[in-house]
Structure 1
Amino acid sequence: MVGLALAEWERPLVERAWAAMSQSVSHLERIADGHRLRWAYKACERIIRQHSRTFYWASALLPAPKRQATRALYAFCRVADDIVDDPQGDPSAELARWRRIALEEPPPEDEPIALAWTDVRIRYRIPKRYAEQLLDTLSQDLQRARYETFEELAGYCYGVASTVGLMSMHIIGFSDPMIVPYAVRLGVALQLTNVLRDVGEDWQRGRLYLPLEELQAFGLSEEDIEVGRVDGRWRNFMAFQIARVRHLYEEALPGVMGLNPDGRLAIAAAAELYRGILEDIERHDFDVFRRRAHLSRVTMLIRLPRIWWRVRTGFYARRAK
Structure 2
Amino acid sequence: MKILPPEKRYGMFAVYAFCREVDDIADGDVQVPDRLEALKDWHKRIDRLYEGETQDGLDRVLVATIVRFGLRKEDFAAVIDGMAMDAAGPIVAPDEATLDLYCDRVASAVGRLSVRVFGDSSPEADRVAHHLGRALQLTNILRDVQEDADRGRLYLPRELLVRYDVPLDPQEALYALGLDPMARILAKRAADHFREARRAMKRCDSVAMRPARIMAASYHPILKALLRRGWRHPDVPVKISKAARILRSLLAYYR
Normalised by the shorter chain, which TM-score bucket? 0.7 to 0.9
- Which TM-score applies when normalising by structure 2? 0.85
Match of 1:264 in 2: 209
Report the Cα distance in structure 2 between the residues aligned to 1:99 and 1:297, rounded to whole angstroms. Answer: 39
Could you say which residue in structure 1 is the equivalent of 2:40?
96
Q: 1:295 to 1:101 in 2, by over 3 A?
A: farther
In 2, the alpha carbon distance for the partners of 1:213 and 1:67 equals 41
Q: 2:116 corresponds to which letter in structure 1?
A: H
Q: Report SS of the residue matched to 2:10.
A: helix
In the alignment, does 2:137 pair up with 1:191? yes
The secondary structure found in structure 2 opposite 1:222 is coil
1:100-158 deviation per Cα after TM superposition (whole angstroms, max 9, x unaligned): 3454333222xx44432232112211111110122123213233623543232111111
Verify: 1:180 aligned to 2:126, yes or no: yes
Q: Which residue of 1 aligns with 2:65?
A: 120
Cross-structure match for 1:70: 12
Superposition pairs of residues 164-175 of structure 1, within 5 angstroms? 164-174=110-120
**TM-score, normalising length from structure 1?**
0.69
How far the C-alpha of 1:76 sits from its partner, in A, is 0.9
The answer to whether the 8 Å contact 2:46/2:73 transfers is no
How far 1:163 moved relative to its partner? 0.9
Which residue of structure 1 lines up, in the alignment, with residue 2 of structure 2?
60
**Deviation readout 1:273-320 (Å, 9 max, x if unpaired):** 1222212323433367435657564332122233235x2xxxxxxxxx
CA distance in 2, matches of 1:201, 1:245: 19
- Who is 1:299 aligned against? 244
Match of 1:9 in 2: none
Asked if the contact 2:22/2:83 (under 8 Å) is kept, the reply is yes
Contact 1:76 1:114 survives alignment (8 Å): no
Question: Is residue 2:142 matched to residue 1:204?
Answer: no
Alignment of 1:25-174 (within 5 A): 59-87=1-29, 88-89=31-32, 90-105=34-49, 106-109=53-56, 112-143=57-88, 145-174=91-120
Aligned-residue CA RMSD (Å): 2.6
Aligned residue type for 1:270: M
Question: 2:189 is aligned with what amino acid?
Answer: R
Contact kept in structure 2, 1:83 and 1:95, CA below 8 Å: yes
Unmatched tracts of structure 1, length 5 or more = 1-58, 312-321
CA contact under 8 A between 1:193 and 1:245: conserved in structure 2? Answer: yes
Number of the residue aligned with 2:199: 254
Distance 1:75 1:130 in 2: 15
1:4 maps to none
Residue aligned with 1:263, SS: coil
Q: CA 1:182/1:263 → structure 2, altered by over 3 Å: closer, same or farther?
A: closer
